Structure 1
Amino acid sequence: MFNYTVRRLLITLPVLLGVTFLNFIIIYLAPGDPVDLYANPDVSEADKIARREALGLNDPLLLQYFKWLGRMLTGDLGHSFSSFQPVSHMIAERLGATLLLMGAALFIAYLIAIPLGILSAVKQYSWLDYVASTGSFLGVSVPNFFLGLGVIYIFGVTLGVLPTGGMNTIGQETDWLDTLKHLILPALTLGTSIAGGMMRYVRSSVLEVFNQDYLRTARAKGLPEWKVINKHTLKNALIPIITIAGMDIPLLIGGAVVTETIFQWSGMGQLTIQSILSRDYPALMGINLVAAITVLLSNLWADLMYAFVDPRIKYN
């Protein structure tokens, strides 16, 4: 297992290098010039050229990339074009908020999806199955921005029971209960699409295991149905579920960009939108680097979990 993990980590290095290179090309070829955004309208063209030279934007594209790569290998992600702060500090300030939101969204999604998926499979073709399946399709189909605006209108505007934006109430001392109230709506919005997809996979995986001969044998031995489901069914249905769980991380990262913007959640998603609008190349590269590392590590976690839930899988 250790050797396999080391090999996988070594394989991810060229993948990560390729991802950063493609991101760099796409970001720098996007229309717009950061110097035009930050410069005073009265600034002369010579001053703009000097500013571009100071930022290194006049260098050939490959040279700019290798300069960024060299700094990145030393832990320096550069300085923001807009705020002039170190990009690493900007990301560190926002990363905790995004991890909190993603963790809460995953918790809500799996708390809903796994029990409903199991019940839907156990009660196949019942009214519960039809209701749960319809709910899962709606969860996958409704866009985050539409659902976010909907829950803001219902719970924030109409009922007035939950705050509609931010991480804390302005003018009030920060405490965990206030943060929790602000977290509910964005986490519910972000977790709904994850829950819808996960429920379908749980249902399908459990139904596939239900048709195996060893479950019929377990029932024939007189084991209670709850024990057949908990001890034999779920463990053998976990591998497809783990695969989808590893794929949920990229979905969460993408969904966080929209959700954090709607709810004014001060995390990486909101920073991404701000960096795109301001053509802040160093900030965008730092954000993409963190996202790429997170996705690669989540895929490695999923592979390692296979061997944990299924002893038949061996990594030599």
Structure 2
Amino acid sequence: MFQYIVRRTLIAIPVLLGVTIFNFLIVNMAPGDPVEMYINPDATEQDIQIKREALGLNDPIYVQYWHWLINVFKGDFGNSFTTYEPVMGMIAERIGPTLLLMGFSLVIAYLIAIPIGIISATKQYSWTDYLTTTFSFLGISIPHFFLGLGAIYVFALIFQVLPTGGMNTLGGSGGFMDTFLHMLLPGLVLGTGIAGSMVRYVRSSMLEVLGQDYLRTARAKGVKEFVVTNKHALRNALIPIITIVGMDIPLLIGGAVVTEQIFQWPGLGQLTIQSIGSRDYPTLMAVNLLAAFAVLFSNLLADVLYSVADPRIKYN
């Protein structure tokens, strides 16, 4: 297993390098000039060129990429075009709230999806199955921005039981309960979307396993149905579920972009939207690199969990 992890890590290095090249080209090919957003409208052409030279934008694009890559290997992602702060510090400040929201959303999603998926599979073609399937389709179909705005309208404006956005109450003392209340709405919005797709995969995986001969043998030996379903069947149905979990972790960063903006959650998603609007190239590159790393790490984690769920799987 250790050799497999090392080999996958070494393979990930050229993949990350290719991702950075592609992202750098896309970011720099976007329409608009960042200098125009940070300089006085009455500035002369000479002033604009001086600013471009200071930001390194006059160099050929391959030179700009080379300088950026060398600095990244040194642990320096440059300074933001907007605030002139170190990008690494901005990422470090924002990644905590995003990880908190991601973790909370995933917990909600799996607490909803796994029991519902098991019930749907064990009661196939019943009204319970049709009801859970309907919930699944609704969770997949309703966009996050629509669900988020609807949740704010109902719980924050009509019933006034939850805050509209932010991470803490302005002027308040903060604390765990205050953060938890602010996290409920965005967490439920993200978790509902993930649970919608997860229910279908759990149901499908369980249906494939429930008809196996070894489960019939277990029932014939008098093993309780609860143990048959939740111990023997569920563990053997985990492989496809783990695959989806590995896909959800990086996708949640992308999904959180819209949700964090709606709820004004001070995470990487909100930072990404602000960086796109201000053409903040260094910050965008850092966020894209972090997202690429999350994809590679989650895929490796899923491979490791395969062998945990099924001891027959060996990596040589």
TM-score interval (norm. to shorter): over 0.9
The equivalent of 1:262 in structure 2 is: 262
For residue 42 of structure 1, report the CA deviation from its aligned partner.
1.2
- Counterpart for residue 116 of structure 2: 116
Distance, in Å, in 1 between the alignment partners of 2:298 and 2:233 is 25
Which residue is equivalent to 2:69? Answer: 69
Moved more, 120-129 or 5-14: 120-129
- Give distance in 2, aligned partners of 1:222 and 1:243: 33
Task: For 1:38-57, list aligned pairs within 5 A.
Answer: 38-57=38-57
Whether 2:287 is the aligned partner of 1:290: answer no
Q: Write the mapping of 1:1-316 to structure 2, written as runs, cut at 5 A.
A: 1-316=1-316
- For 2:78 and 2:231, locate their aligned partners in 1 and report how far apart those are by CA, in whole Å: 52
Q: Distance in 1 between matches of 2:297 and 2:250?
A: 11
Q: CA deviation at 1:122?
A: 0.7
> How far does the alpha carbon of each residue in 1:101-132 deviate from its partner, in whole angstroms, 9 at most, with x for none?
00010010001000000000011111111111
Distance in 1 between residues matched to 2:208 and 2:253, nearest whole Å = 30
Letter paired with 1:17? L
Q: Give the letter aligned to residue 64 of structure 2.
A: Q
CA distance in structure 1 between the aligned counterparts of 2:22 and 2:251, rounded to whole angstroms: 20
What do residues 78-114 of structure 1 show as CA deviations (whole Å, max 9, x unaligned)?
0000100000000000000000000010010001000
1:264-285: CA deviation from partner (whole Å, max 9, x where unpaired): 0000000000000000000000
- Segments of structure 2 that go 5 or more residues without pairing to the other structure are none
**Partners of 2:250 and 2:103 in 1: how far apart?**
13
Mapped partners of 2:139, 2:228: distance in 1: 30
Aligned partners of 2:231 and 2:191: how far apart in 1?
A: 28
Shift of 1:192: 1.1
How far 1:193 moved relative to its partner? 1.1
Q: Sequence identity, in percent?
A: 66
Q: Which amino acid aligns with 2:66?
A: F
Question: TM-score if structure 1 supplies the norm length?
Answer: 0.99
* RMSD (Å) for aligned C-alpha atoms: 0.6
CA distance in 1, matches of 2:136, 2:251: 16
TM-score normalised by L of structure 2: 0.99
Structure 1 residue ranges (4+ consecutive) displaced by more than 6 angstroms after TM superposition: none
Distance in 2 (alpha carbons) for counterparts of 1:249 and 1:56: 35
